[in-house]
Amino acid sequence: YCPVSADSSQLAAIHAAAEGRTFVLEGPPGTGKSQTITNIIAHTLAMGRTVLFVSEKIAALGVVHSRLE
């Protein structure tokens, strides 16, 4: 379940999260991290699971929150 568009590398991260693997999603600005995180959270919630999303920047939390709305 991916409500936001995703490329192949983003889909790989979403798939890894769906398998329950733990990882750190890193990258420079503009590489689609917020899109990927939005899709991971949406997919995980759709599967009836819980998510902990941690970020050093409050702006990242706001972006993901607005996309999930």
pLDDT in tens, 17-48: 999 898 888 889 889 999 999 999 999 999 99
**Are 24 and 58 a contacting pair, CB within 8 Å?**
no
pLDDT the model gives residue 57: 87
Q: What kind and span of H or E run contains 37?
A: helix 33-46
**Are 14 and 36 a contacting pair, CB within 8 Å?**
yes
pTM value is: 0.88
**Are 37 and 25 a contacting pair, CB within 8 Å?**
yes
